[in-house]
Structures are given as structure tokens and as C-alpha cells.
Structure 1
């Protein structure tokens, strides 16, 4: 670990997929700035030169500004931005009220958009800036009515990722959307036990995430769909 090691910001990095991504990057020489709503002891043993955890709440805009500023102050720049924080909904687009729709879009879509804007000058200044957006297979198909509102938000997230790709084209800032299906985190606790046991592991997502972040700009990948089972394509 040295001052030339790349720096990644990871939202929601204290549990689930975000925690796995942070640990994977740390294990391969990255310095990591984690944004989370509360403190954690998940990173015991890492030095402040390797990792720092800052307060970040997708429903509190000031924490977005503060997190970016603190990362640049303490690490000296930003090479990659990983949008992992998000919330789930099991309401349909017909049943959900406006408050739930607004909250889902605020956390899953608008906060990553604002964070990207705030980090953009630093990503442009990086040797090869990267953005990783955690979308979902839900962004690509609606499986049932109860998944439809969540799918709406993730479809918007996927479009955000493609928009970022185009904005960064000339400056060679690359963006990849990861689109996993069921992942073995607390978000799938309600699934049948057999499906929970077969679901993709967070560590698998983390390996793919690191690959996407470490690819050169000449090998940009727009989307990576990931599933624990073979799904029909439609």
C-alpha cells in the first residue's frame, strides 16, 4: 500500500455486497473510502492509510458533499466510485404510494446521480476514472407485480450507468453496471432456503466488481448480468 495505490469510494460498504467489494479491493492493493450510515468494526486491522469509514446517508444530501470532500482531503483523490447503497421494495407500481416511490428513487437513483456529479472533477483528474453502478437483473425484466416498483428504480439506475458512460467517453472515464439476480444477503432472507443456498455469493460479485474497475479504458464493459441460475432471455 502506497500513495500511488488507487482510491475507491464504496457506498453502503459495511455489509452485504458493499462490504465484500471493499474487502476485495483492500486485499488487492486499493485504498478504500467507505460511506455508511453508521460505524462498523468490520474493518478491524486496517490502517487509516488503507481504509476510512465516513458517514453517508443517501437521504441526507449534505453527507454526499462531506464524504467526497473528506475522501479527497484524506486520500488525495478519487479513482473509482462504486454506487452500491440501495433499498428494496416489494410493492407494485399500482399499490405503492407517492412517498414510497419518492424514497426509492431518492436512494436508488438520485443520490448516486448527485454523488457522481460531486466526484466527477476528481474522476476526470484520475489516470483512468471508473464508476461502478450496482443495478440488478430487475432492471432488465419485471418478474411479477410485487417486484415492479423496485424494477422501475433499477431500470432508472441502469440508464444512469449508460448516461455516465457517455458523459465520460471523451475523457476515458468508464462506467459499468453490474446486474445481479438473487445474492445471498439479508435482502433475500424471505426466499425459500434452497434458493438462498444457491444464490450468488457477495464475494463472487466483489471479484467481478474488481475486474471491472481494473480493466483498462480500452476494454470498457457496459453491463455485466449475473445470476445464480440460467434464465430465459426475453
Structure 2
């Protein structure tokens, strides 16, 4: 029997590419998104079920999980991919954006995981792949909210790996860096305030530094997700992309003071 993967945030970018890769390799795919009525490609593929799910709406989560299990009989792999990014000076960021950052990346991820866990626990098997970021291992200027949420994903995933390993469920972290997707235009909010010119130089230096980083193809990230989901190993972290590996290596090789100075030079601070 074919195995089944359940993916959140499958309407664009990494999520869409991952859904297509699993389908091409013979899997049943439950591709979830906030507006499935706008989906024209995935819904036409064999063995793909497109369902509505908003990670901030628990009712939609429960409905999608139940419908997916009803359609294919089981969920073997959960990929928590839905995400949101808030950048900019903290004092220029609205309370609504702050809440959205953590409601999407942390609370929503936990809600989807909790909805799938009873099914995996009863079966005594399953794999959960949480999409983190190189921003869950190192932090950059103006990213207090985004990095805070991804550091949280790293910590909760590490703890869950022990907890769920006891019931036969593996937990994995995939950590992409810069990626050639429309995440920036669709799921990232940059907050700024012209009445705070003190931040202008930092904003300029940060934008310029990010522009120099190499960006991976979404297909490369999808391959890393597939490997994490299917390799059968107890390995937790899967860094993906040249920039991710560069920053993680820097962090390992340097103490806090040296690493901080390296980043300040990179961001022209």
C-alpha cells in the first residue's frame, strides 16, 4: 500500500514543491492550505487530496486530519511547513503581527501536531518533519520575532524527539536557508517606521547583506524534506543550503564574541 504524507502550507513554494515530489514518488498526498478553492495544479494530480487548513483555526485542523485519514486510511508522515515571517525593528511592529508570528510558526505547528498524534500513537509509528530555518540556529538583525519563533521550533522539536520516540514516532527538523520562492512576497512582513530614523542604517545594511546570500532551489529543499521523512534514521537536524551550512559552521567554530563580531561586519554594523 502507498504511504501518505500530510503537508501544511502546500499552496506555494517549498510546500507545493514537496507535495509534487512525494506524489511523483508514489505517495498519497494530503496537501493543505488556507484557500484550496484557488488551487489549480495539485488538485489535478493522481492520489492528491487538497484540503482547507489554517494552522490558526483548530476546527479546520481537525477537519482536515479526519478527512485525510478517511480518504487514505492513514497518515504516515506529517510535514509542518506553513510559516510566516516578521522582520523589522521590534518597536515598529504591531501587536497583531507579533501574535501572528507565534500563532503561525509555533502555536499552529503544535496544534497540527497534537491533532495527528493520537492517530500515530495508536499505530505505533509515524514521522513528523518540522520545517525550521537556518534562522532557528543563528539570529540576524531585525529578526527578533522570526528567529524567536524558529528557535522555539528547534527547542520543541528536540524535546519532542525524545518524547515521541518512546511511542515509535520520529521527529525531524529541516533547516533551509535563503530559498528561491515567493515566501518573501506572500508570507513575510517587514515593519518600518519613518519616525524612527535611528534604525535606517541598520535596515539598509541588513537588506544589503541578505541580498548577497546564495539561494537554494525549492526542489533542493523538497529533496531534503523527502530524505528526512524516509531515511529511517534517528537523525534530528537536516541543514539545507550553502548559506545554512556556512552560518552553522561559523557558529560551531567561533565563540559568542567572535561570532557576534563576524555578523556585525557582515551586516555593516
Higher helix share: 2
Structure 1 residue 60, shift from structure 2 partner:
1.6
Q: Which runs of 5+ in 1 are unaligned?
A: none
Pairing 1:47-196 to 2, within 5 Å after superposition: 47=46, 50-126=47-123, 128-144=125-141, 146-188=142-184, 195=211
Matched position secondary structure for 2:216: coil
Q: TM-score, with normalisation over the residues of structure 1?
A: 0.88
Please report the RMSD computed on the Cα atoms of aligned residues, expressed in angstroms. 2.2
Moved over 3 A (4+): 92-95, 125-128, 188-192, 194-198
Determine the C-alpha separation between the residues in 2 that align with 1:16 and 1:211: 18
Provide the residue aligned with 1:203 in structure 2.
Answer: 219
Assess, with a 3 A threshold, how the Cα gap between structure 1 residues 73 and 203 changes in structure 2: closer, same or farther: same
1:233 to 237, 250, 253: 250
Q: TM-score, with normalisation over the residues of structure 2?
A: 0.77
Structure 1 residue 126, shift from structure 2 partner:
4.1
Structure 1 residue 83, shift from structure 2 partner:
0.3
Matched position secondary structure for 2:143: helix
Structure 1 residue 29, shift from structure 2 partner:
1.3
Cα shift readout 1:52-102 (whole Å, capped 9, x = no counterpart): 000011222211111111111111111110000011111334443432221
